[in-house]
Structure 1
Amino acid sequence: MNRRAFLATGAASAVVAGLARHGTAVGAAPPDAPKWRAFEVTTRAEIVNPTGGARAWLPFPLMPDTDYHKSQGQSWTGNATTTRIYREPRYGAAIFYAEWPATEPSPLVEVTTRFATRDRAVDLKEPGEVRREDKRELAKYLASTRLIRTDGIVRQTALEITRGAKTDLDKARAVYAWIVENTFRDPKVRGCGIGDISWMLEARSLGGKCADLNALFVGLTRAVGIPSRDIYGIRVADSAEFKSLGKSGDISKAQHCRAEFYLPTHGWVPVDPADVRKVVLEEKGGLSLGDATVQRARAKLFGAWEMNYLAYNYAHDVKLPNSAGDPIAFFMYPQAESGGERRDSLDPDTFRYRLTSRELAM
């Protein structure tokens, strides 16, 4: 078994330094900011019955660090003959890559990630002191992606939803309210969904999971000129407030997509309408929109996130390095190939992985 801790090696440290320069970390938080918590997440991935050479790609923590999320190092073990950290060029997503020869019958890699988080909230009543985002950075979060369109029925729907709204904050509130009131969480959807929002609107099929419902928020707000983005990651601890919004221990199926939008007066504002619908479906056996618990979640999740969460990246249409396969819509699940064919990241019979989390003492 080979073991490498890339933060301790010069070459890999240079890679990480390059990642950290991609974008701008926000400034220091005020003295009364929430306390930091530290976590460790271990991902063990195995490619079952390989047919030829094998490859795997695992998401690394969000870079650069922010005032609510900081990477504290990674290490890995396994029998891969090649390992490397890549940076996705458009969004700066950090990608761990492992490769095995055709002679390896049991490809295996185990990656351990340490990071720290603290709860995040933006006071929308008054403008804050924020560092303005670069215009080129914001332009990425106004553009269409393959599945999150900003034209056609998406723009038409966005204009209808925001009719009469005067400010970007008012427009974002209107989109958030529309999603909370008109969509639903569909437990039959595989994984977190795929986020094809044009199809959802054209088919009037407004059920889905987080990558569908929060993609609606991103696409609809972008369509009316508000920079917005998904953030892909995974829950790592129980929630302090909502049982349905946390997971600890075995977190192999705890992936979750969130969203945020940008205001020049407040910076990036966290939202999560998909989790409001998750509270409706799962909290206390199911609740109505008018229930006090749902109303509390609805108010909180426009402007705040509980950070029992490992954030990965903002990336869309990700071309996996050294793969001849098609780009993936987003990079939240481990990915693998064998014999040049992509394995189903949601099929444990062909690509087996397990993620576990634990909280560390600060």
Structure 2
Amino acid sequence: MAPVTSAAPVASCAASRRTFIKNSAVALASTALPAINFAQTASTAERQFSPIPGTWRTFEVTTRVDIAKPQGGTRLWLPIPSVNSDWQKSLESSYSSNGTARIEDDNTTGARMLYVEFAENEAKPYVELTSRIQTQNRKQDWARKVAVAEDATTLKYWTQPTALLPTDGIVRSTAVEATRGAKTDVEKAQMLFDWIVTNTYREPKVRGCGEGDIKTMLETNNLGGKCADLNALFVGLCRAVGIPARDVYGLRVAPSAFGYRELGGNSASLKGAQHCRAEVYLKGQGWVGMDPADVAKVMRQESPEWIKTAKNPLVAPVNKGLFGGWEGNWMAYNVAHDVVLPQSKGPKLGFFMYPAAETAAGRLDSYAPDDFKYQISAKEIAA
């Protein structure tokens, strides 16, 4: 497939510290709005949610991992931002560790990662990774037509099934029924986006970001989940009717500028801030950002009461804004599915946006950062 990310050379600074440099970009600034009463109901005025591109922000994101109970040879993998696009620039990364570390690229999926091996007698394995990225708001200009289309080979790749995203059977029949009457890809994408918002729901009890097993979700009619479930279902339904689509796996790095508590992260402590979004390729429009899972999150968790309609004044601007855009307080790691971790003795990953580690006892639980000790924080760098 044609690459959607770009790799950069690695430069040595010291035996335990290396840096790789990517293409630079401009930097964004955005001002947080005053705190808002989250108990607003349908009787209140509609809230604003209107991310506008054009200003860039620069963040340094640091992940620190400490292996509390090493057993035998310990191995560790950390995702590194590898997306370069109109809305993100992945710049340099550096690391320090008491293990042997190197940058690895999964050339099949485009994922980039830091791989670390620790000696069997290392009592306190640790690694700290810092990545600098620039990001901006994203909003589709529906009046602008893309002059140059993506090549056919790349678009075909993004309609193929993956281990967790089959495109036949119940996935195909659901997608066909949901898009009945649509004449264009834009209409199909809108109908599938609306189908996700209407028929699925945010389930806070799901661990991590969910698993994204969309066939099981549809077969059991258990349509509750988190972003890796709901956006994966959206992507799979799009692919099933021939629309190129992909999940974009990343991390919230700052609060929302529009006062939505659930659409931002606490920069000082980003435990649990992992979040995936979606992109679809629409004829004449190019790759377009989407996020029906965050609409469901606002409906379920933004107010004390579970909001059941996207027409609610609290939800409506988010529902509109996330069909064709998103806020730039979030960074992407990769768009990778079915990731094989180098030197791993465990199974491949359905997606890669959490730290992963293995000891002689097996793979550690990436969804349990209190047991598998890691902390993530972000710092905004002034332009």
Please indicate, yes or no, whether the TM-score normalized by the shorter chain is above 0.5: yes
Give the corresponding residue for 2:130. Answer: 112
Shift in Å, 1:68: 1.0
User: In the aligned structure 1, how far is the partner of 2:364 from the partner of 2:262?
Assistant: 30
User: In the aligned structure 2, how far is the partner of 1:191 from the partner of 1:219?
Assistant: 20
Question: Which structure 2 residue ranges, 5 or more long, are not aligned?
Answer: 1-8, 14-18, 26-51
Aligned match of 2:338 in 317, 329, 346? Answer: 317
Task: Give runs of aligned pairs for residues 1-362 of structure 1, distance below 5 A.
Answer: 7-9=10-12, 33-63=53-83, 65-80=84-99, 82-124=100-142, 126-241=143-258, 242-247=260-265, 248-286=267-305, 287-289=307-309, 290-339=311-360, 341-348=362-369, 350-362=371-383
Q: Which consecutive segments of 4 or more residues in structure 1 shift more than 3 A?
A: 6-10
User: In the aligned structure 2, how far is the partner of 1:16 from the partner of 1:150?
Assistant: 37
1:261 aligns to what SS in structure 2? strand
Q: For each residue in 1:184-232, what CA deviation from the matched residue of structure 2 results, as whole angstroms up to 9, or x when unmatched?
A: 1000100000000010000000000000000011000100000000000
RMSD over aligned CA atoms reads 2.2
Q: For each residue in 1:288-324, what CA deviation from the matched residue of structure 2 results, as whole angstroms up to 9, or x when unmatched?
A: 4231121111011000110101100010110000112
Question: Which structure 1 residue ranges, 5 or more long, are not aligned?
Answer: 1-5, 26-31
Alpha-carbon spacing, 1:349–1:244, altered in 2? closer, same or farther (3 Å): closer
- AA in 1 matched with 2:277: R
Instruction: Decide whether the 8 Å contact of 1:316 with 1:330 is kept in 2.
Output: yes
Q: How many residues align?
A: 342
Between the aligned residues of both structures, percent identity stands at 50
Alpha-carbon spacing, 1:310–1:159, altered in 2? closer, same or farther (3 Å): same
Instruction: Decide whether the 8 Å contact of 2:145 with 2:284 is kept in 1.
Output: yes
Alpha-carbon spacing, 1:102–1:217, altered in 2? closer, same or farther (3 Å): same
User: In the aligned structure 2, how far is the partner of 1:317 from the partner of 1:92?
Assistant: 11
Shift in Å, 1:282: 1.5
Instruction: Decide whether the 8 Å contact of 2:59 with 2:381 is kept in 1.
Output: yes
Give the structure with the larger helix fraction.
1
Alpha-carbon spacing, 1:277–1:349, altered in 2? closer, same or farther (3 Å): closer
Instruction: Decide whether the 8 Å contact of 1:288 with 1:294 is kept in 2.
Output: no
Q: For each residue in 1:13-40, what CA deviation from the matched residue of structure 2 results, as whole angstroms up to 9, or x when unmatched?
A: xx968x98xxxx9xxxxxx942010111
Normalized against structure 1, the TM-score is what?
0.90
Normalized against structure 2, the TM-score is what?
0.85
2:354 aligns to what SS in structure 1? coil
User: In the aligned structure 2, how far is the partner of 1:79 from the partner of 1:134?
Assistant: 44
Shift in Å, 1:48: 1.8
User: In the aligned structure 2, how far is the partner of 1:45 from the partner of 1:9?
Assistant: 22
- AA in 2 matched with 1:9: S
